[in-house]
Amino acid sequence: MGSIQSYLLEILLRVRRVFTSSQKEELDIAKERAETLSVSTSFARFGGVGCSPISANGVPAEWIVPAGPTSERSILFIHGGTFYAGSIASHRPLAANIAVAAGTRALIIDYRLSPEHPYPAGLEDVITAYHWLREMVSAKEIAVASDSAGGALTLGLLLSLRDGSEALPACAVCLSPATDLTLEGETWRTNRKRDIMLEYWKMVKGLEIYLCDTDPRNPMASPFHANLKGFPPMLMQVGSEEMLLSDSTRFGEKARMAGVDVTVDVWERMQHEWQFAKGFLPEADRAVRQIGNFIKSHWASDSNPLNPV
């Protein structure tokens, strides 16, 4: 049974859906980007962090550093937004809360978005940022965290590193990741009316402008179709009401069969991106705490102290 706050939030989101849903099914990119920023910062409850813009080998980025002593350990945070929306500004609250929960700094990046920059531009930026981070710290001191479309980019990064015989991060966290861009998972059909955060037609059109002529079964874009052997320990959180639910459960099953240490945690009655509501939603508080504990449990046992950036 969900919390009282979760029922109140669901009512609020359903009312919002009535006023924001378009019947024309025409994707307005500027409007979508503004809406993503507005919704993502509605519960911008975080504090005790310092934020410093930086360039990660040409990729716009920002260090988010919790107050007090930290270490060289770093979280590379890859935001979501259906590949055409999302930014450092929209996802700073989530990245900051995860950084605080894990007790370490986070690097959040602004990768290139479609339609201006379709696949593989965003993935290339993620790989560039990881290599930049590796110039400062070892792979065992890096965790990668992401949400939604950022999950596909995170998994694409892991695939690229593994296939290139490069050191993989200590662990990865994917919140409601998009793992199969064919949208063939069963909950894209069964949860279409239950999901009040995502609209199916927007996902279809968003993937069209992101993939262009790329096969949606290309493993680098659609990691569900990859060989997952050798991936690092992973945590996936997903809500039971999401269309993306089967993207997590199917990927988790395949990863386990490949010998990957993966936890897929399905949260009952939760909608897409409920973790943003930390400070209001008890389920979000618990989810972020779980993420922090997972990351801390997979760090190397030793790490050099580092002054805040």
* Residues involved in catalysis: 148, 242, 272
CA gap 4, 1 in Å, rounded: 9
**Chain position carrying tokens 């990691």:** 223
Q: How far apart are the first and last CA of the chain?
A: 42
DSSP 39: H
CA gap 100, 94 in Å, rounded: 10
Query: Going by DSSP bridges, is the β-strand pair 171-175/142-147 parallel, antiparallel, or unpaired?
Result: parallel
User: Residue 149 corresponds to which tokens in the numbers above?
Assistant: 């479309």
Q: How far is CA 7 from the centre of its chain?
A: 24
CB atoms within 10 A of CB 22: 12
CA gap 256, 254 in Å, rounded: 5
Smallest CA-to-CA distance from 9 within 255, 298, 282 is with: 282
